């Protein structure tokens, strides 16, 4: 058997660089994070360039295109590192489709939407779903539901008028879907959820006091804090018209389940969530739920994933408006430089949660 021992002096600086692994794997997660140049060809590439990988002794890493160009390298014509990445182009297509859906009285047909962004219906549907977490149809429904919700909340129109104004062409069709999108029927919503009963209980977990609340649809709040009374007041503020009912012994089991989940988020929570937000917030929250435990992303990553790359501030606001701690893991969003940034339930709790998930 021949053993080849790699002597330290045989390992090139490129191979010693942590970015080398990303390069060898052509890891798309690093697209846009750095570029690399090849001495022998004079070009620089994205980490995902499909060209054959050059010898490591000819490779150097650069933070961005400007750095590579000032070192005298030209952009590769194959991976076009100086142009928008595939992910960015995809995000722009989805954002365009979202605008078309939002501007239409009735949901445009899939074929028409796909055509207007220059894709086949099949690929467009898949792309839209992968970026937003929703089908174009569900996105349209959520958007129209939000319009109904806004109008009802403003008290400007009757339930029927609000439904027609929002582009549902028959109220029966709206009522069929309203329970899904509003979490309750429109008249109950108009009354500020007065008929909605919310059960809750406060317990203790390693992060301090925890309040768990459920509607008939599922878990509608998980709040964390130091003071149990403050948590109950917070719940009342978030659901001002709901009738709050203290949980019974049966409910304690559910709370125990949620506490177990908060202690070890990687195990997942197999309870339905009752998520109530604007169409935009719901897109952000859905994107948050796609971040696996142990990983973090930036606010701009989330903005790009939901097809609204410029809406970084609105993404941060949607994270702050989250009512369901840990199950909608807004703690996995950090600043672009990796800094923790704020957390509704205290930055120390965020640090503890992330530390725990990193294992």
Residues marked as catalytic: 45, 330
Least distance between Zn ion and beta carbon 76 (Å): 3
- By beta-carbon proximity to Zn ion, the closer residue of 63 and 191 is 63
Cβ-in-10-Å burial (0-12, 13-18, 19+) of 2 comes to exposed
Least distance between Zn ion and beta carbon 154 (Å): 53
Q: How many residues bind Zn ion (CB under 5 A)?
A: 6
**Alpha-carbon distance 132 to 276, whole Å?**
17
Closest CA to 76 of 101, 107, 49: 49
Edge to edge, the sheet with strand 208-214 lists 219-225, 208-214, 197-205, 243-246
Tokens of 304: 């790009």
- By beta-carbon proximity to Zn ion, the closer residue of 76 and 145 is 76
> What is the 8-class DSSP label of residue 324?
B
Question: Does 98 show up as a binding residue in the annotation?
Answer: no
- By beta-carbon proximity to Zn ion, the closer residue of 23 and 224 is 23
Least distance between Zn ion and beta carbon 301 (Å): 23
Question: Does 45 show up as a binding residue in the annotation?
Answer: yes
Q: Which of residues 90-129 bind Zn ion (CB under 5 A)?
A: none
- By beta-carbon proximity to Zn ion, the closer residue of 59 and 79 is 79
Q: List the one residue from 45, 114, 211, 293 that touches Zn ion (CB under 5 A).
A: 45
- Is 49 one of the binding residues for Zn ion (CB under 5 A)? yes
| Residues sharing a CB contact under 8 Å with residue 150, sequence separation 6 or more, in sequence order | none
Tokens of 8: 């330290």
- Is 78 one of the binding residues for Zn ion (CB under 5 A)? yes
- Is 23 one of the binding residues for Zn ion (CB under 5 A)? no
CA dihedral for 317, 323, 325, 329, sign (positive or negative): negative
Task: Please report which helix (H) or strand (E) contains residue 320, including its range.
Answer: helix 312-320
- Is 79 one of the binding residues for Zn ion (CB under 5 A)? yes
- Is 76 one of the binding residues for Zn ion (CB under 5 A)? yes
Q: Give the footprint of Zn ion on this chain (CB under 5 A).
A: 45, 49, 51, 76, 78-79
């Amino acid at each position: 058997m021949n053993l080849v021992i790699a002597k330290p002096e045989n390992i090139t600086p490129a191979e010693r660089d942590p970015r080398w692994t990303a390069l060898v794997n052509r890891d798309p997660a690093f697209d846009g994070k750095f570029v690399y140049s090849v001495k022998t060809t004079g070009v620089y590439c994205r980490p995902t360039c499909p060209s054959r990988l050059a010898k490591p002794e000819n490779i150097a890493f650069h933070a961005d295109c400007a750095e590579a160009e000032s070192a005298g390298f030209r952009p590769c014509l194959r991976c076009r590192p100086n142009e928008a990445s595939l992910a960015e182009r995809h995000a722009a297509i989805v954002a365009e489709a979202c605008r078309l859906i939002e501007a239409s009285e009735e949901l445009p047909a899939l074929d028409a939407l796909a055509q207007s962004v220059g894709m086949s219906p099949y690929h467009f549907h898949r792309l839209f779903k992968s970026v937003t977490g929703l089908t174009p149809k569900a996105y349209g429904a959520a958007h129209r539901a939000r319009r109904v919700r806004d109008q009802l909340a403003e008290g400007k129109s009757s339930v029927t008028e609000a439904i027609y104004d929002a582009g549902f062409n028959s109220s029966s069709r709206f009522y069929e879907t309203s329970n899904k999108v509003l979490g309750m029927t429109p008249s109950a919503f108009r009354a500020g959820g007065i008929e909605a009963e919310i059960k809750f209980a406060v317990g203790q977990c390693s992060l301090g006091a925890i309040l768990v609340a459920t509607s008939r649809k599922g878990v509608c709040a998980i709040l964390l804090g130091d003071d149990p009374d403050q948590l109950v007041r917070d719940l009342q503020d978030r659901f001002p018209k709901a009738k709050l009912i203290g949980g019974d012994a049966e409910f304690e089991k559910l709370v125990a389940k949620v506490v177990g989940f908060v202690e070890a988020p990687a195990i997942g929570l197999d309870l339905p969530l009752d998520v109530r937000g604007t169409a935009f917030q719901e897109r952000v929250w859905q994107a948050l739920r796609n971040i696996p435990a142990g990983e973090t992303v930036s606010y701009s990553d989330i903005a790009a994933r939901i097809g609204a790359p410029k809406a970084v501030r609105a993404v941060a606001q949607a994270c702050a408006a989250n009512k369901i701690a840990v199950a909608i893991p807004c703690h996995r969003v950090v600043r672009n430089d990796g800094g923790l940034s704020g957390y509704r339930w205290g930055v120390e709790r965020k640090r503890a949660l992330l530390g725990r998930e990193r294992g």
